Structure 1
Amino acid sequence: MTTLEPRAPYSPEELAQFYPKELELQQVQVLLRHGERTPVNARFKNTGLDAYWPYCSVAKAMRSAVINPDGSLDTLHWKRRIESLGKDDVPILNAGKKGEVDAICQPGELTDRGRETTLALGQRTRRLYVEQLGFLPSHMDAVSAQQVTLRATPIPRALESVQQAFIGLYPASARAPGLPPPTVVTRTMQEETLFPNEGACKRFAELARAFADRTAQLYNSGPELDYLNNKIGKWMPEASPVLKVDSHPRLSGVMDTVNATLAHGPDTKLPKEFYEQKVRDDIDKICVEEWFVGYQESNEYRKLGIGSLVGDLTQRMVEHATAGKSSTESFKMSLAGCHDTTLAATLAALGAMDPTKDKWPNFTGSIAFELLKRKGSSASGSTSSTVGLNTGKTWWSSLFSSAAKSKPVSARTPLSEWPESEKAGLDEYYVRLRYNDKPVVVPYCKPAGRHFEGDETFCTLSAFKAATDSFCPKDWKAECGMNLGKPAMNGQIERPPGL
């Protein structure tokens, strides 16, 4: 899927339906895919598609932190140009089709269009949570600045997208003068779990390779690939003349270029055959299955691919429900810049996406994890100590027997190990996912008693936690080194919780 066409803001009737008066919004965590970008590799130059795209105006206004001779920090403004090795290794400047040299994008770089759509996502977020619901203040001051947190993967397009979304949520005119710069939390690539990380998780790489190979075996000689080769195979390179799931470029690489070109201007387009609806549908179908069907069939795949991230999201909701902090002491909104694989993996692991039917996530797609509380509930932490979980001698640890006190307790402790008296408290909180502004049903939460009366999209927090416990690793890095060399598929299909 390419550029997202966002729906109109919720009407008053929809707001009343989606946010029942019996529930009070407590916390929102947004996973947002980066905006439109260039292809990660230059492909199909034989069709006339230019390798260098002049869609990155930011290259004309780069800024870097530098140290002055007196030791003070300053900002250097500079302009980027990109060169390549030409004939006889003579360096040449990369240029667009019309000779542009000052706005040339790097492979996989967020484009001007991508900045516009992620800015618009931030503006839509402001419209809903500030203007319509009044959940966030309209003006950010030193106190409310602590209520919004930012996170991104180490990949620049994700970082730049979350920055653009933040500017849409709180433009300069809505931020108090003198506020310190916002903090964006990142990790090293070897510890990043904000997307399925094959590079850092050896066992997950094995699993992903096995499911990709199976998809290739299923489709390489099938009618879909025959049709695709008939339509676009003539543009495959001489070294790999037949388009396959695992050709060079791979079918997913073809999809990457098709979607990127669809999102941009007329000067960067493939031949019309690439955009025929059946061509796009067949490519999308096969690639979604290749990349995401493992989440539907293997608990180990879910656990190592996205379980740690889902565990993070759940942990923050449980901590909010149990820590007893007021809204001014804990965050209310988080924005996390991530990737298409993040969104699809999260939904598929929860059983809320069918990789045999659903589409690849759009540029600037998003999932909002909303935590709500039943109004008038005594489950609020207001009657408890403001000290959080697992911090020593707290109200939380006092709830456990003396035998259990020797074992550290945290929001990540599986619900099956909680005392029965505390499980009920989480039933006064509800979790709802909105994927591209559409409420999502998590299958595990469909039975009576696991959701808000009359609306299956609102999971009780205890049901949601029970679902995520089933594929949340206890030690992701350690488990990434387990089972190496063992078969990825044991002949049994392990469905997501509730399916």
Structure 2
Amino acid sequence: MKQQMQDGPVPLDVESYPVAPGGLDLEQVHIYVRHGERTPVRVRMSNPPASIPADWQMCNTAKSFHETVAGQSPTIDDGLWYRKLSRTGMEEQLRDYGELTDIGKKSTYSFGTALRSLYIEISPLKARDERLTYFRSTNIARTIESLQHIVHGVYPPSSCAPGIIPSIIIRNGIDENLVSNTLACKRLALLELQFAEAAVAVWNSRLEPLDKKVSRYLGGRPLRLDGTPRASGILDTVRSAAAHGFRVPPEFMDDNVIGVIEAAVTAEWFDIKSEDGRRLGMGRLLADASEKMQRKIQLDSKDPTKLLVHTTHDSTLAALLCTFDVFDDKWPPFTSSVTFELFRKRIPASQQTNIPGLRALSSFWRPRDEHYVRMRYKNKNMVLPMCAEEGKHLPGSPEFCTLEAFRQRVGELTPKDWTGECFPRT
């Protein structure tokens, strides 16, 4: 019996958000969200019998959406929204390859409004308050656009003081750590190539039985991880088309088919279980988050940053999940997110152990609160294996990892000399 492929976004579930146990105060939230729905990164399966359109005219509602959401603020540059392409001598307003569509704009804006409902007690954004939030994107048009729409959901124009424009941060290519930076790290590139080759050796033979079902949609060619087109490209086109309501060949709506393709592709792209791969891929990003958490704890109200939103890609979400051994082996949907929430448990002074005479030296003694980190994905709490032992999580709530255990693992994953470690080994 055929089942329908689940390919849509996973909206933040505000109503069912699990409130933390009593005594825990939310101090800071780090969010890594995949961009919204986009066009495929190249044309595939456009010929009959698949007939998935080569050109996606997905800007039909762009003008009205631009006016109602983005047009009220000077943060949006129209040049990011439209591109003129020439097709057979005629100019049409089309989405270029890999670009955010109207549906992607709406889903990322909705993501922003959900963040607003979950995490922000809104008051008008004043000039002195901009440090409450931190917005950062990879230097790719679809993630920048996605973040612009998220920002408008978090801070609609009615909640911003005139002239206040929240900043969006983009790093240069060498310093970029929102992705596994294979361009700047040759050793990581070699490792990922090795992982991909290992996946080919395992999965191509498992894909072969699908040829009789799907090859006719691929110009008679076999479906392989290293084929033409690649299995990852087929999955990208099918998922993107289905998310936008285009007809997809029924074979690709069968979980017995698409499930095997997805398992093969996720193994090729995301199955990075070596410590070196994790360190070089996500170590710097996690170190950034850990340091910001520690800064928040040390400075308290002197560091007002509470909500940090990063727009990135499916590969980042999968890599974060793999790094903490909680990946579900499913391709991260559009607008899905990984969240790290920092909580504080205030310990009354009367319950804290005091070294005799130390409290009298008020300049040295400080009350010690407890801090916990909760990781979430697809509206679910992630129970991290690294925090399973007694003493490494909040008693009775294993999803709340102690900050010490979290920082210890991040420390193990942080390269001491990333540039040096990135040189290929002979």
Equivalent in the alignment of 1:283: 261
Equivalent residue for 2:90, pick from 90, 93, 110: 93
Q: How many residues align?
A: 396
In the alignment, is residue 54 of structure 1 matched against residue 57 of structure 2? Answer: yes
SS in 2 for 1:304: helix
- Kept in 1, the 8 Å contact 2:12–2:114? The answer is no
Task: Please say if residues 3 and 364 of structure 1, whose CA atoms lie closer than 8 Å, have aligned partners that are also in contact.
Answer: no
Following the alignment from structure 1 to structure 2, what is the Cα–Cα distance between the partners of residues 200 and 43? 30
1:124–1:59 distance in 2 versus 1, CA, 3 Å:
closer
**2:9 aligned residue:** 4
Does the CA-based 8 Å contact 2:190-2:424 persist in structure 1? no
Q: Which residue number in structure 1 is paired with residue 276 of structure 2? A: 300
Q: CA deviation at 1:137?
A: 3.1
Matches of 1:244 and 1:314, distance apart in 2: 40
Contact 2:83 2:95 in 1 (8 A): no
Structure 2 residue 100 is matched with structure 1 residue 110: yes
What are the within-5 Å matches in structure 2 for residues 202-351 of structure 1? Answer: 202-222=186-206, 225-237=207-219, 241-266=221-246, 269-294=247-272, 296=273, 298-322=274-298, 324-326=299-301, 329-351=303-325
Unaligned runs of 5+ in 2: 1-5, 68-75, 350-362
Give the equivalent residue in structure 1 for 2:360: none
1:477 alignment counterpart? 419
Q: Cα deviation per residue 1:397-437 (whole Å; 9 max; x = unaligned)?
A: x99xxxxxxxxxxxxxxxxxxxxx99x95x71111111122
| Cα displacement string for residues 185-234 of structure 1 (whole angstroms, at most 9, x for unaligned residues) | 11122331101122222111111111111111112123xx1232121112
1:428 aligns with 2:370: yes
CA spacing shift, 1:258–1:8, aligned 2, 3 Å: same
Contact 2:224/2:230, CA 8 A, preserved across alignment: yes
Give the aligned residue type for 2:160: R
Q: Check 1:372–1:333 CA distance in 2 against 1; reply closer, same or farther (3 A cut).
A: same
Distance 1:142 1:448 in 2: 45
- Does structure 2 conserve the Cα–Cα contact (< 8 Å) formed by 1:27 and 1:333? yes
In the alignment, residue 31 of structure 1 is paired with which amino acid? Y
* Amino acid of the structure 2 residue aligned with 1:6: P
Which letter does structure 2 place at the counterpart of 1:374?
K
Alignment partner of 1:176 out of 161, 170, 178: 161
Partner of 1:403: none
For 1:9, the aligned partner's letter is V
Map of 1:334-483 to 2, 5 A cutoff?
A: 334-354=308-328, 358-376=329-347, 428-483=370-425
The two structures have a TM-score, normalised by structure 1, of: 0.74
State how far apart, in whole Å, the 2-side matches of 1:282 and 1:440 are. 25
Q: 1:148 aligns with which of 133, 141, 159?
A: 133
CA distance in 2, matches of 1:291, 1:76: 34
Q: Measure, in 2, the Cα distance between the counterparts of 1:57 and 1:188.
A: 34
For residue 252 of structure 2, give the secondary structure of its aligned residue in structure 1: helix
Q: Secondary structure at the match of 1:314?
A: helix
Q: Percent identity?
A: 36
Q: In 2, distance between residues paired with 1:457 and 1:2?
A: 27
Q: Indicate the residue corresponding to 1:66 in structure 2.
A: none
Compute the RMSD of aligned alpha carbons: 2.7
Indicate the SS of the match to 2:205. coil
TM-score with structure 2 length normalisation? 0.86
SS in 1 for 2:127: coil
* CA distance in 1: counterparts of 2:78 and 2:45, whole angstroms: 37
Q: Which runs of no fewer than 5 residues in structure 1 stay unpaired? A: 64-73, 87-91, 95-100, 131-135, 379-397, 400-420, 487-499
Q: What SS is found at the alignment partner of 1:115? A: helix
Aligned equivalents of 2:44 and 2:77: distance in 1? 36
Following TM superposition, by how much is the alpha carbon of 1:76 offset from its aligned partner in structure 2, in angstroms?
A: 7.8
Structure 2 CA distance for aligned equivalents of residues 308 and 79 of structure 1: 34
Supply the distance in 2 between the matched residues of 1:377 and 1:230 (Cα, whole angstroms). 68
Partners of 2:325 and 2:384 within 8 A in 1? yes
Work out the CA distance in 2 between the residues paired with 1:478 and 1:57.
49
Q: Which residue of 1 aligns with 2:45?
A: 44
CA contact (8 A) 2:10 2:334 kept: no
Mapped partners of 1:256, 1:76: distance in 2: 27
Alignment-derived partner of residue 116 in structure 2: 126
